Amino acid sequence: MAVKLLLKGVVQGVFCRNYCSKYGKKLGVRGSATNLPDGSVRVLLDTEDKSIVDNYIYHLMNNPMRLMFYGRIDNVETIEYYGKIHGDYFF
């Protein structure tokens, strides 16, 4: 099982997929980030560990490492996901 995150806010055209990838690499979690037609970004994380997911979301929302990101994440929806990790921006 994996986890699907839906990021809402100003998340397209602002380096969000790269931002998600950098935090994934820094935190040691594999996954992907994809722009969706509704203006949100879908992140698939290859983990079942709730503490890893919570830590990843904390980093995305608070950017404690001050990584380059010109947008704003207003909301993160977490959904169980049973498919393969796929998308257009892998980390």
Half-sphere exposure of 78 (CA within 13 A, CB side): 15
May I ask the CATH class of domain 2-81? Answer: alpha beta
pLDDT one-digit tens code per residue, 24-51: 999 999 999 999 999 999 999 999 999 9
Q: What average pLDDT does the segment 6-17 reach?
A: 98
C-alpha–C-alpha distance, residues 19 and 1, integer Å:
23
Classify residue 56 as exposed, middle or buried by CB count within 10 Å of its CB (0-12, 13-18, 19+): buried
C-alpha–C-alpha distance, residues 90 and 84, integer Å:
12
- Please give the single-letter amino acid code of residue 64: P
Cβ-contact 64, 25 below 8 angstroms: no
Q: What average pLDDT does the segment 11-30 reach?
A: 98
Residue 1 above 90 pLDDT? no
Cα dihedral across residues 27, 31, 32, 37: positive or negative:
negative
Element (DSSP H or E) covering residue 24: helix 16-27
pLDDT one-digit tens code per residue, 51-85: 999 999 999 999 999 999 999 999 999 999 999 99
